[in-house]
Amino acid sequence: MAINPSDTEFAIAVGTATTAVPTAPQFKRLETIVGSNLNATADPIQSQTRRKGRTNAGQRLVNPRVEGTLNTEFVAGDAATELLLESAFSGKFDEDGLLKAGTTETNLFVERKWQDGATSMFTRYVGCVVSEFALNAEFGGIVTADFTVLGLGRVEPSAAAPAGAIVPGATYADASTNTKLAGPDVKNITIEGLGEVDYSTLSLTISQARETQGKLGSAFARGIGTSGKTVELMVSLYRKDFGPENLIKNGIENPAVSISFDMVFDDEGYRVIIPAAQPSFPEDAEEGANQMVNVTFSPIGDADAGTDIMIQKLPEA
């Protein structure tokens, strides 16, 4: 038999910042959509040696790592998704269900199961973190959340468990079966200074500049470093007045405004809070019979909130 894409599944557990397999990992299954993939990769270094007869002297592979993206449809109360959010935000959900972007890293241990009839096979990745989180919402579609992953490496199957067996002591929790969030569930969009306007699309991106840190004497990197973070919110709204233009002051100044929006179905979901974000110059766009305005906001650190972006579980604890 051949393995079909529908015969694979991902599961995520809290891992370590090294290539060590965590003890008795508590996996949370993650439902993914088409395009999800993680791959072990490395950089090929070609030898420059000139050999007799112009033959090639070969190559070496260096800087092994894991790269890929887990694409999902956003849903409330999914444990695996919330682990990915913590890694993307570099923070932890507190007892009140509030996650602030910060500097606390969540390292992940990711397992992919391949099912061929009655035979199970596993690929496992260690020392993983989310380097980019992209949330996209449009009025006529399901809200999607894409998580770009960077990891230290792939575990040899025998190093974690015998071939076809689970990691000793591992447990598995099923993915949430809650209704997927869609355009009608993205509501209460509040952007200071714009008043009551209607939105068509919304895109939020959190990018962490992450790289593996290679070292002499080791095949694997010593860890993953982060040099900075950028956050960007793009909204498309129906032209109503010159509210978007009025966000720009004195022809060139763009003072920060507060932003929040909810993603909720049956009172369960999340609220994204951006305490302060600077707007770009608005851009007009004709989309069929619609006159739209596109504005990009760049969050900045807020002293009172102690962060530049937060996400609150709803209903609040």
Contact 111, 142 (CB under 8 A): no
Other beta carbons within 10 angstroms of residue 49's beta carbon come to: 9
Opening angle at CA 23, ends 82 and 93, nearest 5: 20
Q: What amino acid occupies position 38?
A: L
The answer to whether 75 touches 178, Cβ cutoff 8 Å, is yes
Give tens-digit pLDDT for 244-256. Answer: 999 999 889 999 9
Q: What pLDDT score was predicted for residue 117?
A: 79
How far is C-alpha 175 from the chain's CA centre?
Answer: 17
- List, for residues 136-180, the tens digit of each pLDDT value: 999 999 999 999 999 999 988 766 666 668 899 999 999 999 999
Per-residue pLDDT, 159:
65
Domain-wise residue ranges, the chain: 5-40+65-156+165-314
Q: Which two tokens stand for residue 240?
A: 């109503």
pTM of this prediction? 0.94
Element at 110 (helix H, strand E): strand 108-116
| Neighbour count for residue 144 (Cβ, 10 Å) | 18
Tell me the β-bridge partners of 205: 134, 232
